[in-house]
Amino acid sequence: MRATVVLDGEGDNAYPQLEWADYPSIQMARRWHGKDVAVTLEFWRGTRTQKQNRFWWGVVVPTFMDAMLNLGNCIIDKDEAHEALKLKFHSRTIIYAKKPIQIPKSTANLSKEEFTRLVQKVEQWLAEANIYLPQQWEP
C-alpha cells in the first residue's frame, strides 16, 4: 500500500498525515479509522514500468523461446521461459538437506533500475550465443 506523508500545520505544531495513493489503500484506511495501528514508513522505490514489462514479455521471453527451439532444445511456453530466465539471472540459493537449491525470485517488485540491469544481463547472455533481441532496449 502506498501513501505520501505530508505535514499539516507549520513549525512544531505540524503533524503528519498520509495521502493515500490508490483506491485499495483508501478503502484500507477507512477500515482502520479510529483504531490504533502500527505504521512502518519506508521510502517508495518505484517498480518496473509497464513499458519494461511489455518489453520483457513481448520481446525478451519470446526471443529466448525461439532460441531454445532453434538450437534443437525443447519447446517451452512463455511461463517456462520466464522461469528459466529468472532461475539463471534472478534467483537465490537455499540449502535443503545440505544441498544447494536455486529458487527463482519474483521480478514484479524490481525497481526500474534493477529491471533494466536484468534485461541487460539477459541481452548480453543471448548475444554471446549470437542471438539478438529484434528490438533495441530503451529503458
User: Residue 22 is inside which H or E element, if any?
Assistant: none
How far is the C-alpha of 129 from the C-alpha of 90, rounded, in Å? 20
Grid coordinates of 43: 521510502
The domain segmentation of the chain, as residue ranges, is 1-44, 50-128
Non-local CB neighbours of 88 within 8 Å, separated by 6+ positions: 125
Contact between 66 and 74 (Cβ < 8 Å): no
Predicted model pTM? 0.65
pLDDT per position in the chain (139 positions), as tens?
556 666 666 766 666 666 656 556 667 667 777 877 676 666 656 688 888 999 999 999 999 999 888 877 777 899 999 999 999 999 999 999 999 999 999 998 888 899 999 999 999 999 998 989 887 766 5
Q: Give CA separation, 108 vs 1, 52, 53, 82, 113, in Å.
A: 15, 11, 9, 12, 13
Using alpha carbons, list the distances in angstroms from residue 76 to 16, 67, 84, 90, 111.
51, 10, 10, 19, 28
